[in-house]
Structures are given as C-alpha cells and as structure tokens.
Chain A
Amino acid sequence: MELALILLGLALLVVGAFLELVGAVGILRLRGFFNRLHAATVSAIGGSAVPLLGLSLLSVALEDLGMQRFHLLGVCLVAALLILILAPAGAHALARAAYRSGEVAKDFTYDAIAEDGVGWD
C-alpha cells in the first residue's frame, strides 16, 4: 500500500515538474499577453496543483515524519484545492482587465466580443 502511494506520488510529482518547465518556457517564449496567459495556466494547474496532490500522497506514505506527515497532507490538499479554485478565477479577472484596458495588443484571429458589440457588461 505504501509503495503504491509513493510510486503514484512520485509519478504525479515528475509530471508536474515537466509541465512546470513547459509552462515556464511558454511564458518566456510565446508572443502576446493572451498566449502567455495560456502558458501560465499550464504552469498553474499542471505545474502546481498536480504536484501538490502528488506530494500529499508522498508525505502520507513516508512514515519517518511521524504524526507531522498528516500536517503536511492537510497543507498540500488545501493548497492544491485553493489553486484549483483561485488560479482560473484570477487568470480570468486579469484577462478581462487586459482586454478592457486596451494596453495589450489584440491580435486575435476571431474576436467574438468585438463582433457582438456588447462587451462584458
């Protein structure tokens, strides 16, 4: 049982580290704010929530931490849940503000908001 938890946790951790690197390269290399927003979401959910879930499994399987491993489990689960809820909400608020401020270049192939002429209000 412990071996399965450790292996699953390590797998999630390695996948998360890979996605974090992908998101970091994307946020550095992609052109335009909205493309970078896409890369940032990869690094927020794939690179932070997934490895935190893996770390919660890993920490509960490591017996040598004693009872404190449940503290680590709780922190990891709460942080992963908060990231899952708050990262999309924050990214959406940022995208909305960027679109409406006019500071960011809007080089879209199709802009449904401008087409409807209604905006977000």
Chain B
Amino acid sequence: MEEVVTRVIEVVILAYLASATLFLVRAVRGPTVFDRVLAVDALSYDLAVFMVLLALYLGEPMIAIGAVVLTLWIYSLDIYISKYVESEGIGD
C-alpha cells in the first residue's frame, strides 16, 4: 500500500509543478497588477500543498510547517494590495 501512495504522490507532485509553471506564466504576462496578484495568490496556495506533499514524500514532517504561514501571508498580500489600490490609486 505504501508503494501505491508513493507512486500517486509522485504523479500529483508533477501535476502541481505543471500548474505552478502555468501560474508563473500568468504572473509574468498579466496585463494588470490584479492579474499578477491573482496569479501569485494561486501560486502560493499551490506551494502550500506542494510543501505538505514533499513532507510526506520525503518522510520529514517538519517541512510542512511553512504551509500555514504561506496561506496567512498570501491573504495579507491580497488585503494590502486592494487597500493600497482603493485608497491611493495605481500608476501616477
């Protein structure tokens, strides 16, 4: 059973790496700042799951502790950007 779990986790890690690449493309190309923030947002949630996957795969549970911090950090990024944009405007 452990063998099956390891194989599935390997495939899922590849899927998460592929979607992280797609998010990164949108974060670089995004025409407005909101598209970039949205892509970084999705990328960080992706990374949180990726950390836990890596912790299970390598058998080192301490790697996973960063997932909680990442989810909190990305919420603060959302709130900071939207507050900044609403109160001061962007660009000039």
Partner-B contacts on A (CB < 8 A): 3, 6, 10, 13-14, 16-18, 20-21, 23-25, 27-28, 33, 36-37, 40, 43-44, 47-48, 51-52, 55, 58-59, 62, 64-65, 68-69, 71-72, 75-76, 78-79, 82-83, 86-87, 89-91, 93-94, 96-98, 100-101, 103-104
Contact = CB atoms under 8 A, between A and B. Distances in A.
A51 B45 CA distance: 11
A64 B72 CA distance: 30
Interface residues of B, number: 54
Interface in B53-83: 53, 55-56, 59, 61-62, 64-65, 67-68, 71-72, 74-75, 78-79, 81-83
A48 B53 CA distance: 11
Main secondary structure of the interface of B (DSSP, over half): helix
